[in-house]
Amino acid sequence: MSFITALLSQLNYGTIFFLMLLESTVIPVPSELVVAPAAYHAAAGNLNIWLVILFSTLGADVGATINYLAGWYLGRPIIYKFANSKWGRACLLNQEKVEKSERYFDKHGMIATITGRLLPGIRHLISIPAGLAKMNYWKFLLYTTLGAGAWHSILAFLGHYMHSFVPENQLHDKILEYGEYIKIGLIVLVIITCIYFIVKWYIRKNRNNNNQTERA
């Protein structure tokens, strides 16, 4: 973890890409403490905020692809075995967390690849059930990019906004504080989105049933 701490203190486009790659696999790297500080420094002219979003999203895509391929080729028994191993525990993993991400994916389908990127505890694991389900890769990549891009944009604009009133020595604590509010808001947003799609599916199903009844 001291290696990751060293990278966090030397943020550039390469380290942003690499850390977000790790965060999208199973390595516990908090994206809040990468993207938001990078955008904070972008506001000072040291980086470009749009490139921060781009490289963080590209890193997330590569990391998510690694998880996707692991799910596709290794299968559930090996994934569970790793999650329950000492290496899995070192990555803050366990079988229960993997199963939780699977249930979320099974319940919400492909849209879970977008919404799951916005949820803490599921964000870095949602790619595994997509691979287990052998979801079309290009759809997976598109949805992952949309979800990761949205999340990183939120963090980037938060960091950029904080530059105007938060001293750098207070940045870490303020990001964690504001991050909790953002997480709550995103969870509510995801719930509303899921309800919308469920209602839409239910209405379409009833309409199709009514059409079939009229034809009969």
- What tokens appear for 59 in the block? 């890193």
- Does residue 62 surpass a pLDDT of 90? yes
Task: Give the separation between CA 140 and CA 109, rounded to whole angstroms.
Answer: 11
In the predicted model, what is the mean pLDDT of residues 51-69?
Answer: 95
In Å, what is the CA distance from 115 to each residue of 14, 42, 118, 119, 178? Answer: 26, 27, 5, 7, 20
- Does residue 24 surpass a pLDDT of 70? yes
Residues 16 and 56: beta-carbon distance below 8 Å:
yes
Task: Give the separation between CA 15 and CA 9, rounded to whole angstroms.
Answer: 10
- Does residue 52 surpass a pLDDT of 90? yes
- Does residue 49 surpass a pLDDT of 90? yes
At residue 110's C-alpha, the angle toward residues 196 and 158, to 5°, is 70
Task: Give the separation between CA 119 and CA 187, rounded to whole angstroms.
Answer: 6
Task: Give the separation between CA 22 and CA 134, rounded to whole angstroms.
Answer: 22
The structure's pTM equals 0.76
Q: How many structural domains compose the chain?
A: 1
The mean predicted confidence, pLDDT, of the chain is 82
Residue 186, pLDDT score: 65
Q: Residue 70 is part of which domain span?
A: 2-215
In the predicted model, what is the mean pLDDT of residues 53-71?
Answer: 94
Pick the residue with more confidence: 64 or 181?
64
Task: Give the separation between CA 211 and CA 90, rounded to whole angstroms.
Answer: 55
Cβ within 8 Å of residue 46, ≥6 positions away: none
Residues 159 and 35: beta-carbon distance below 8 Å:
yes
- What tokens appear for 179 in the block? 């991050």
Task: Give the separation between CA 117 and CA 61, rounded to whole angstroms.
Answer: 11
Residue 56, pLDDT score: 95
Residue 214, pLDDT score: 63
Task: Give the separation between CA 75 and CA 81, rounded to whole angstroms.
Answer: 10
Give 85-138 pLDDT, tens digit per residue.
887 777 667 788 888 788 877 776 677 777 777 777 777 788 888 888 888 899
- Does residue 57 surpass a pLDDT of 80? yes
* Residue 182 banded pLDDT, cuts 50, 70, 90: confident
* Residue 59 banded pLDDT, cuts 50, 70, 90: very high
> DSSP character for 133?
T
- Does residue 8 surpass a pLDDT of 70? no
